[in-house]
Amino acid sequence: MLELNDISFRYGLAEEEKEKDLQDIDLKIYDGQFIVFAGESGCGKTTLSRIMNGLCPSFYEGDLSGSYFIDGENAENKTIDQIGLNIGSVFQDPRSQFFATNSTDEIVLAMENRAYDRDVMRTRLKEVSQRMDMGSLLDKCMFMMSSGEKQKIAIASVCTVKPKVIMLDEPSANLDPEAMENLAGMLEELKQEGYTILVLEHRLYYLRKLMDRLIVLSGGRIIRDIDSTAIAKLTGKQMESLGLRVLEETRLQYSPLAAEDDSPFVEMKHISYKVKRKEILSDINIRVQKGEILALTGQNGAGKSTTCRILSGLVKESGGEVYINGQKCSKGKRIRHNFFVQQDSDYQLYASTVYEEITLGIRSRNIDRDEVIGLLERLHLRQYVNRHPGSLSGGQKQRVLIAASILKKKELLILDEPTSGLDGKHMRELAVLLRDIAGKGTTILLITHDMEFISLVADSTVELANGKTSEKRKILRRIPQE
């Protein structure tokens, strides 16, 4: 059992803030429970998880008060390594916890660090790989794996040391619907085996049948602790009032596509792409009208990000042509027309404050401070204007980049998984904001697996599979699946 009594915490790097990042947390977690922690971005979910797995304050320095017990023993007297034997963590981006380039080496690394007997390591590797049906992923190069496959490796590496508790931070953030279904099945098996499962998550529908408790945080405090019976009775309006996403799976219905203008703003014709003679894309055909919001969907590893990197001018196609506003565009010219918010936000953050980040690249005489502050307020970032972007939560970083993209006023906006790390409230507000700028003439291309978001924002979808694109389909309305 995990027991937290009157836990409060403030990061050392946030000294200018009066409020604590976590306040007055009283929580008991019983063995075998499946608990989901939810709430708006920056509400304290990740901080709470870092306290439970020992990273705060040992790694993330700050002021911690209160008491924390693991199976009746004071966690203050344990090292991070000792806590890790009880609580295994899978981070939001599994790559951030990888040390090996070979999948098998990564899975057994934790056992090697603890000097397990070689026969024990072989036995546990075999047990975990069979239980998780991942034999085909063993002894593979990690760089060639999809997000879902990497996550599977991360979970397997945690399971080999047999902790009592497995904690996952937004495990569905970059997964396609099929991979999310597989993840739910994997978590159900772990629950049946007696593990205590703690999940920090925004997308909730795929966990609805597994949850024993839904704990909602706001402003660093626990505001609701909902049991499984009450979870089943939650309405859409109640979820929205808590700033959360819906509990039902979103399905899309399409209408026949009307005849389109023969002069689309963006057109990709017969695009192909190869890497070392391996064909990644074979026949990509996409047409997007001015002011249209198109969602590009498909499984992890299908080539969606590669397609958008070609369109943005970051990568040169092997064959085919790209047209923008009726003009054939070379790789170099495309860059001037678009702003591309990539999936890994950390790789696009360069400045020392949020204000400097979103105005980066704009001449000072062209910066309208009132417009900047207004945009930050609309994206709920005003209070972080002088904060270092690296100190923000994943969802807040994502919103900083979206603010930067809007401020640049490019004709084409490309967003790769823009709702990764976004809670229900900010996801819905982002949908309204994108509809607003599309209405003013900006063309938007989204890469996303988020059907709830697509139903709120997109005009049409194109699916990518086997290196080819499907016919464009116009969205009619959303149908919640019971």
Residue 465 has pLDDT above 70, yes or no: yes
What confidence tens digit (pLDDT) does each residue in 193-252 have?
Answer: 999 999 999 999 999 999 999 999 999 999 999 999 999 999 989 999 999 999 988 888
Local structure of residue 303 (DSSP, 8 states): S
Contact of 214 with 238, CB cutoff 8 Å: no
Predicted TM-score (pTM) of the model is 0.84
What confidence tens digit (pLDDT) does each residue in 156-189 have?
Answer: 999 899 999 999 998 887 788 888 888 898 899 8
Of 365 and 439, more confident: 439
| Cα-based distances in Å from 49 to 92, 167, 265, 370, 375 | 12, 8, 46, 37, 31
Contact of 141 with 181, CB cutoff 8 Å: no
The C-alpha atoms of residue 154 and residue 157 are separated, in whole angstroms, by: 5
Residue 271 has pLDDT above 50, yes or no: yes
Which option is the CATH number for 253-481: 3.40.50.2300, 3.30.70.60, 3.40.109.10, 3.40.50.300?
Answer: 3.40.50.300
Please classify residue 336 by burial: count the beta carbons closer than 10 Å to its beta carbon, then call 0-12 exposed, 13-18 middle and 19+ buried. exposed
At which residue do the structure tokens 């760089």 appear?
Answer: 143
Mean pLDDT of the chain: 90
> Which long-range contacts (C-beta less than 8 Å, at least 24 apart) are formed by 47-51?
47/9, 47/11, 47/21, 47/22, 47/220, 48/7, 48/22, 48/217, 49/89, 49/167, 49/169, 49/198, 49/200, 51/4, 51/7, 51/9, 51/22
Q: State the virtual CA torsion across 197, 203, 43, 99 in degrees, nearest 10.
A: 60
Contact of 397 with 345, CB cutoff 8 Å: yes
Which option is the CATH number for 2-247: 3.30.200.20, 3.40.50.300, 3.30.450.20, 3.10.100.10?
Answer: 3.40.50.300
Angle at 347 between CA 343 and CA 348, to 5 degrees: 85
Q: How many helices, marked H, and strands, marked E, lie in the chain? A: 16, 22
Residue 294 has pLDDT above 90, yes or no: yes
Residues of the chain with CATH 3.40.50.300: 2-247, 253-481
pLDDT band at 479 (very low <50, low <70, confident <90, very high): very low
Listed in sequence order, the residues at least 6 apart from 354 whose beta carbon sits closer than 8 Å to its beta carbon are 376, 381, 384, 385, 386, 387, 389, 392, 400
Contact of 401 with 431, CB cutoff 8 Å: no
pLDDT band at 134 (very low <50, low <70, confident <90, very high): confident
Q: What is the pLDDT of residue 18?
A: 53
Q: What is the pLDDT of residue 261?
A: 67
Lowest pLDDT segment from 219-223, 307-311, 359-363? 359-363
Contact of 268 with 286, CB cutoff 8 Å: yes
The C-alpha atoms of residue 272 and residue 350 are separated, in whole angstroms, by: 32
Q: What is the pLDDT of residue 477?
A: 54
Angle at 424 between CA 98 and CA 94, to 5 degrees: 5
Alpha helix segments (H runs only) across 162-302 = 177-192, 228-231, 236-241
Q: Work out the percent of the chain whose per-residue pLDDT is above 70.
A: 97
Query: Which amino acid is residue 187, in one-letter code?
Result: L
Angle at 444 between CA 441 and CA 447, to 5 degrees: 175
What confidence tens digit (pLDDT) does each residue in 380-416 have?
Answer: 899 999 999 988 877 788 889 889 988 888 899 999 8
How many CB atoms sit inside 10 A of residue 120's CB?
11
Do β-strands 221-227 and 278-288 pair in parallel, antiparallel, or remain unpaired?
Answer: unpaired
Contact of 150 with 97, CB cutoff 8 Å: no
Q: What is the pLDDT of residue 146?
A: 75
